[in-house]
């Protein structure tokens, strides 16, 4: 395999775990043409970020960090739906908005499908686009690129659409929001596109369940310092309000009375 940057190799290690559930040090060293010591360093780094769990001779997916989109659809679902509902207040008639391919934005798209607002939505999320397409009041544009998994289109091949439309608001999630306020994701292909989406938007709304607060991932695409609002189920104010005084923090109310 051609020489890779460290971040690229670590992203591919995570993708290997996503596909095969486990990896071995020896197989990874051979595949990437690097030493086993280098792979062990990679695995230690990724474990420190809670992205995998090291085992004797290799690693497996961390229990709470299954990387597949199908799995993420069911993780923290009550919190994601509450966050999506709270996000509706920031979307208004004739808005032009961006959605990323996150499972939380999918929940928001499902709710928007039932509204009668006239909107333009641009997204790289296949499921979000499918959720919106049946609403005749919503013009839905799908960013083109490479189909990487069950849901998202990655890469910058179709991103020129962002240069041809006025984008007011970007609704997105992240794999992690670091204690320093970096917004991070694990797939560098998606990171590149999300960075472009982040930069092209006027207002940024981060939909982040509390399991992702104070965590790290592989690549940075934005910062809370340049984010308009964080919408979460709790914990963000204590962690970020002092460091980011201009950041609006909205705490979503639980949808179920027993929570």
Per DSSP, the three-state class of 49 is: coil
pLDDT (tens digit per residue) in 132-152? 998 999 999 988 766 665 556
Give the pLDDT of residue 155: 59
**Confidence class for position 240, pLDDT limits 50, 70, 90:** very high
What pLDDT, in 10s, does the model give residues 36-70?
Answer: 999 999 999 988 877 888 888 999 877 545 555 55
Cβ proximity of 184 and 217 under 8 Å: yes
- How far the first Cα of the chain sits from its last, in Å, is 49
d(C-alpha 102, C-alpha 99), whole Å: 8
**Fold identical between 6-61 and 71-251?**
no
Tens-place pLDDT, residues 224-236: 999 999 999 999 9
With a pLDDT cut of 90, the percent of the chain lying above it is 59
Report pTM: 0.76
Where are the domains positioned within the chain?
A: 6-61, 71-251
Backbone angles phi, psi at 44, to 5 degrees: -65, -40
CB neighbours of 249 closer than 8 A, spacing ≥ 6? 229, 230, 232, 236, 237, 240, 241
Looking at residue 52, its pLDDT comes to 82
Q: Please give, one letter per residue, the 3-state secondary structure of 2-41.
A: CCCCHHHHHHHHHHHHHHHCEEEHHHHHHHHCCCHHHHHH
What is the per-residue pLDDT across 85-114, written as a single tens digit (0 to 9) for each? 999 999 999 999 999 989 999 999 999 999
Cα–Cα distances (Å) from 60 to 17, 46, 219, in that order, read 6, 11, 20
Q: Could you tell me which of 211, 246, 213, 209 has the C-alpha nearest to residue 229?
A: 246
What's the Cα-to-Cα distance from 113 to each of 116, 117, 121, 132, 212, rounded to whole Å?
8, 9, 11, 5, 27
Q: Return the CATH number of 71-251, one of 3.30.360.10, 3.40.50.720, 1.10.150.120, 3.40.50.1360.
A: 3.40.50.1360
Question: Does domain 6-61 bear CATH number 2.20.25.650?
Answer: no
The predicted pLDDT at position 157 comes to 61
Sheet holding 58-61, edge to edge: 22-24, 58-61, 52-55
- Main-chain phi, psi angles of 195, to 5 degrees: -65, -40
Question: pLDDT-based confidence at 2, cuts 50/70/90?
Answer: low
| Four-point Cα dihedral 107, 82, 232, 112, nearest 10 | 40
């Amino acid at each position: 395999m051609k020489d890779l940057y460290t971040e690229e190799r670590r992203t591919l290690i995570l993708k290997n775990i996503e596909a095969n559930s486990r990896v071995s040090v020896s197989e990874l060293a051979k595949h990437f043409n690097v030493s086993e010591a280098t792979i062990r360093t990679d695995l230690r780094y990724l474990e420190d970020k809670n992205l995998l769990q090291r085992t004797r001779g290799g690693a497996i997916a961390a229990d709470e960090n299954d990387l597949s989109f199908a799995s993420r659809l069911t993780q923290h679902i009550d919190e994601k739906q509450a966050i999506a509902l709270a996000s509706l207040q920031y979307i208004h008639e004739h808005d032009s908005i961006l959605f990323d391919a996150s499972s939380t934005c999918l929940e928001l798209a499902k709710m928007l499908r039932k509204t009668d607002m006239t909107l333009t939505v641009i997204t790289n999320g296949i499921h979000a686009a499918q959720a919106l397409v049946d609403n005749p009041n919503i013009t839905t544009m799908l960013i083109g690129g490479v189909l990487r998994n069950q849901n998202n289109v990655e890469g910058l091949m179709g991103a020129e659409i962002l240069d041809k439309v006025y984008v007011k608001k970007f609704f997105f999630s992240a794999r992690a929001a670091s204690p320093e306020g970096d917004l991070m994701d694990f797939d560098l292909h998606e990171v590149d596109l999300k960075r472009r989406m982040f930069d092209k938007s006027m207002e940024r709304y981060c939909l982040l369940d509390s399991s992702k607060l104070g965590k790290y991932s592989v690549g940075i695409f934005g910062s809370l310092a340049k984010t308009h609002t964080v919408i979460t189920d709790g914990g963000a104010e204590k962690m970020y309000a002092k460091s980011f005084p201009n950041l609006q923090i909205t705490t979503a109310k639980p949808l179920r009375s027993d929570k």
